[in-house]
Amino acid sequence: MTLSVHLLRKLDPAPMAQLRDELDSAVRLTVGTEPPERADYEILVAGRPSREHLTESSDLRALIIPWAGLPPETRELMLDFPQIAVHNLHHNAVAAAEMAITLLLAAAKRIVPADRALREHDWTARYEMNSIVLLEGKTALILGQGAVGRRVTNLCRGLGMRAIGIRRHASQDGKVEVYPPEALHDLLPRADALVICLPLTPETEGLIGKRELALLPSQAVLVNVGRGPIVKEEALYHALRDGNLYAAGLDVWYQYPEGEDDRSRTSPSALSFENLDNVVLSPHRAGAGGTGEIESRRVSELAELLNAAARQGEIPNRVDLEAGY
């Protein structure tokens, strides 16, 4: 039996060839922003489809968003189509988890200001050993236990840290303590590192504010690879500026370039995070990898989902539209 799939965005030649090579022969693939002449696709692969893309085929039963996350406009649109299941790809989870740990270590060790100073032949940082935080034996609180959060949890444990997590559906597996969201305020005073791996939803926006930051130990390090607005911008800036929070590693922000011309002149925030020595700034690149490597992983996971649909009819990584992830 043939499974008809329409890919809205044309891939570059190499990824396209890889996708066709990894797909089962039962998957019939069409590509392009315009619906195929025979619009009978059962699965649409698109991040931001239009209403027309969803109504063109009466056979459509699933939308696969070819990345992790659910764009707000796509969520709003898909709420009008409850009969169409929505699924994600988690191909960049390893890269995002590795970046989270990179930011954690860089912030805890104050790597950036030491590097900057030594480039000017200034060795002062060598004699300020109290500016380095040890992580072994400390507690990491990971918000979110999805594909990224679980990997961050394992990596923190590999550093000799005690890792505890928060997720919507709490569970204990004997190795990691996972708590429900209501436990957040009780857990924050125990968190020497707070790592945010959450999606941005109405429930998570502004989750970490002045009150929550004040509950963290003064030597705590905050890392955000989720979305900027999960942490209140002004509260975070003031906690770092005033020394109430030891350091932060931030890959996600509050302002982004609107176009290619703005890429070299857009501040990531209305506040001057760039003037703080206890912040590591990263331009939202946690999901990136080596040349072509992440795209290859994306293609492989997409093929895996489509092959699963062709073989068993079931597709992994379903999104809960009500929850927003």
pTM as predicted: 0.92
CA distance 105 to 156: 10
- Per-10-residue mean pLDDT, the chain, length 325: 93 95 96 84 96 95 94 95 96 96 98 96 90 95 96 98 91 79 97 97 95 97 98 98 97 96 96 97 87 90 97 91 87
Residue 135 is predicted with a pLDDT of 98
What is the predicted pLDDT for the residue at 200? 93
CA distance 90 to 294: 11
In CATH, the number for domain 93-281 is 3.40.50.720
Instruction: Return the half-sphere exposure (C-beta side, CA atoms, 13 A cut-off) of residue 127.
Output: 3
Which 3 state secondary structure label does DSSP give 280?
Answer: strand
Asked if the domains at 3-91+292-311 and 93-281 fall in one CATH topology, the answer is yes
Residue type, 148: V
Domain ranges of the chain: 3-91+292-311, 93-281
Burial of 111 (0-12, 13-18, 19+ CB in 10 A): middle
Distances (CA, A) of 167 to 120, 209, 316, 321: 45, 18, 19, 17
3-91+292-311 belongs to which homologous superfamily? NAD(P)-binding Rossmann-like Domain (3.40.50.720)
Tell me what pLDDT residue 246 has. Answer: 97
pLDDT at residue number 170: 73
Q: What is the pLDDT at residue 212?
A: 98
| R_g over Cα of the chain | 22
Q: What is the C-alpha separation between 325 and 265, in angstroms, rounded?
A: 32
